[in-house]
Structures are given as C-alpha cells and as structure tokens.
C-alpha cells in the first residue's frame, strides 16, 4: 500500500470531526463580520445573522452525524459473537436435556426452561426416587423457581469439581456440572 491509500483510510468520524471544526471556525468568522457590519444597513445584518444561524445548524447537524458515526462504529465493534456467553443447560418437561455439562472454573451456567412447565432447581440430586439435598463444598447455592419458558443464571463456579443440582418437582430430573 502506498501513502495515498492510507490517507483514504481515515475514518468517517475523523472526516466529520474535521468538517465540524471547519464549519465552527466559519461561524465564528461570520460573528466577527456581524459585529463589524452593525454600522451598516439592517438588511446586511439580518442577512449575516441568518447565515450565522444556518452555519450553526450545519454545525449541529454535523456534530450529530459525527456522534452517530461514532456510536455506529462502536456498535459494530461489540458484535454479538464477541460477547462472552455462559454455557447453558436446557430443561424439558421433566428432565434436563443432557444429564451432564462441562464448564470452566469461574464460569456461570444458564439454566433454560424450554417448555411451559415449572421447575424448582436446588443443590442436590436424585438417588433413584429419593432426593439427596447435599450441597457440595465450593458449590454455589442454587434455589430457583422456573415458571416455564424462562431462564436463570447460577454460579460462578469458582472451584473445580463435580456439582449436582436437581428438580424437586420431577423425580429423576438432575444435572451434573463438571467444573474443570
Ligand atoms: Cu422439574
């Protein structure tokens, strides 16, 4: 690439900022002209005043445009793929869709109720038909009510290990969370 194409790479925001500065200095110039022409006819003063107002309008228009450009480029930078997402465990009508999920230490976990069925999720597990309410050492406390079609986040899981949560409503509905 030669120097010419590098110059063309100036962002739109830069361009508008320079243009806005230029317009502002022009409007200041007009103001000076205005005070000098006060001894002249009212007609000229009015004409100068309206030019000054017009310049100010252009200036504000350009400032708004610059702001929009900056905001739009900011939006482009923060694109959906770059936002860190929590891993998710999905729930059906009476079970977790997958019985186990692996996550990284320090991560949170989204629990997603995909159906119109309520679930109450707590620390513990099902040993056949008997609930075991043990909360492992280092496990974040979990006590959540889902009404159906909703989601919630648990954690962060700050210790490596195996942690279990279960649904108190549905026998056998449990999830093992392996934190690595
Ligand atoms: Cu349930």
Regarding whether 102 and 58 lie in a shared domain, the answer is no
Regarding whether 163 and 112 lie in a shared domain, the answer is yes
Going from the Cα of 167 to the center of ligand 1, the distance in angstroms, rounded, reads: 5
The pLDDT of residue 14 is 58
Distance CA(75)–CA(54), nearest Å, equals 31
Going from the Cα of 164 to the center of ligand 1, the distance in angstroms, rounded, reads: 14
Condensed to tens digits (0 to 9), the pLDDT of residues 12-52 reads 455 445 445 544 555 545 444 445 455 555 555 555 666 67
Regarding whether 73 and 130 lie in a shared domain, the answer is no
- pLDDT at position 75 over 80: no
Regarding whether 98 and 158 lie in a shared domain, the answer is yes
Q: Which of 81, 105, 139 is the last residue of a domain?
A: 81
- Segment 135-140 shows an average pLDDT of 98
Going from the Cα of 170 to the center of ligand 1, the distance in angstroms, rounded, reads: 5
Distances (CA, A) of 76 to 8, 79, 83, 143: 20, 6, 12, 38
Number of separate domains in the chain: 2
Q: Which of 49, 81, 113 is the last residue of a domain?
A: 81
Going from the Cα of 158 to the center of ligand 1, the distance in angstroms, rounded, reads: 26
Going from the Cα of 71 to the center of ligand 1, the distance in angstroms, rounded, reads: 43
Condensed to tens digits (0 to 9), the pLDDT of residues 86-101 reads 999 999 999 999 999 9
Mean of per-residue pLDDT scores for the chain: 79
Regarding whether 165 and 102 lie in a shared domain, the answer is yes
Regarding whether 48 and 121 lie in a shared domain, the answer is no
What is the pTM for the complete model shown? 0.58
- pLDDT at position 77 over 50: yes
Determine the structural domain holding residue 15 and report its residue range: 3-81
Regarding whether 116 and 143 lie in a shared domain, the answer is yes
Q: Which of 101, 104, 100, 110 is nearest to 179 (CA)?
A: 104
Q: Which of 36, 52, 81 is the last residue of a domain?
A: 81
Q: Which residues lie below 8 Å from residue 1, measured CB to CB, with a gap of 6+? A: none
Going from the Cα of 141 to the center of ligand 1, the distance in angstroms, rounded, reads: 18
Regarding whether 72 and 17 lie in a shared domain, the answer is yes
Regarding whether 112 and 76 lie in a shared domain, the answer is no
Distances (CA, A) of 44 to 19, 31, 51, 53, 116: 27, 13, 10, 14, 74
Regarding whether 107 and 48 lie in a shared domain, the answer is no
Regarding whether 101 and 74 lie in a shared domain, the answer is no
Regarding whether 97 and 67 lie in a shared domain, the answer is no
CATH of the domain at 100: 2.60.40.420
Going from the Cα of 174 to the center of ligand 1, the distance in angstroms, rounded, reads: 9
């Amino acid at each position: 690439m030669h120097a010419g194409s590098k110059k063309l790479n100036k962002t739109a925001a830069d361009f508008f900022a320079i243009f806005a500065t230029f317009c502002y200095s022009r409007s200041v110039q007009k103001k000076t002209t205005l005070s000098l022409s006060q001894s002249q006819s009212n007609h000229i003063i009015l004409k100068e005043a309206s030019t000054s107002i017009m310049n100010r309008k252009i200036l504000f228009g350009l400032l708004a445009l610059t702001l929009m450009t900056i905001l739009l480029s900011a939006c482009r930078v923060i694109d959906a793929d770059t936002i860190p997402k929590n891993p998710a465990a999905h729930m059906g009508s009476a079970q977790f869709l997958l019985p186990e999920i692996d996550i990284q230490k320090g991560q949170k976990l989204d629990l997603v109720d995909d159906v119109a069925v309520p679930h109450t999720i707590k620390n513990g597990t099902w040993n056949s038909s008997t609930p075991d309410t043990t909360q492992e050492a280092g496990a974040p406390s979990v006590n959540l009510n889902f009404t159906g079609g909703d989601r919630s986040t648990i954690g962060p899981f700050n210790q490596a290990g195996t942690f279990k949560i279960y649904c108190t409503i549905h026998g056998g509905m449990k999830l093992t969370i392996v934190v690595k």
